[in-house]
Amino acid sequence: MITIDDLTEIGTITKIHGLRGNVVVQCEEVLLEDFEGEPVFLILEGGPVPFFITPDSVRTRGGSSYLIHLDDVDTEKEALALVGSTVMVETSLIEDEESDDPTDIYRFVGYHTCDVNTQQIGEVEDVVDYSGNIVFTIVVDGKEVLLPLGDEFILDMDDDKRILYVSVPDDLLNLN
């Protein structure tokens, strides 16, 4: 029997979408589509209740927001009852994900950046996947800069010090 102690919070159902039971989930640290085929647990009336994400129903809505459909949630009323629920997965699934994929790009959130051209320092606040185009959201001098993942922009890294050495084109710095 799964208990709350066996689970890790990955997000929250924030609202419904449409009339057919779709919900919006806000997840900060994980990709929700990684859990298709695995049960996600909603905390309802103080306990974990398993739900499965309907295959091929996960749609990113930009940033860390997802539109999903849960099996057996087919009406607006059923979906509305889930709004505000905490979404959890078995902790072992997250630990397996982290240990199996040392190249996980989302681990760079919180890394400091150093621009080799201007010596400006920033911090990676988010990593966003825009339909296969990976972009780092970096805050430099209070401005948000979107830096595409690529060898021409990410030059080197120091995992021990949590630093990315980057080359941010002036055009990107001056967009805001």
pLDDT tens digits, 92-107: 887 644 443 445 777 8
Class of domain 4-100: mainly beta
Given this model, what pLDDT does residue 127 score?
87
Given this model, what pLDDT does residue 27 score?
87
The mean pLDDT values, 10 residues at a time, for the chain of 176 residues are 87 93 87 82 92 88 85 94 94 61 71 86 86 83 85 87 87 70
Given this model, what pLDDT does residue 133 score?
81
Whole-angstrom distance, CA of residue 26 vs CA of residue 90: 18
Whole-angstrom distance, CA of residue 48 vs CA of residue 43: 5
Average of per-residue pLDDT values in the chain: 85
The pTM assigned to this predicted structure is 0.54
| CA nearest to 8, candidates 27, 36, 22 | 27
Residues 6+ apart with CB under 8 A from 108: 124, 127, 136, 164
Given this model, what pLDDT does residue 99 score?
41
User: 105-173 adopts what CATH topology?
Assistant: SH3 type barrels. (2.30.30)
Given this model, what pLDDT does residue 108 score?
86
- For the chain, what are the domain ranges? 4-100, 105-173
Whole-angstrom distance, CA of residue 143 vs CA of residue 172: 11
Given this model, what pLDDT does residue 95 score?
61
Whole-angstrom distance, CA of residue 19 vs CA of residue 88: 24
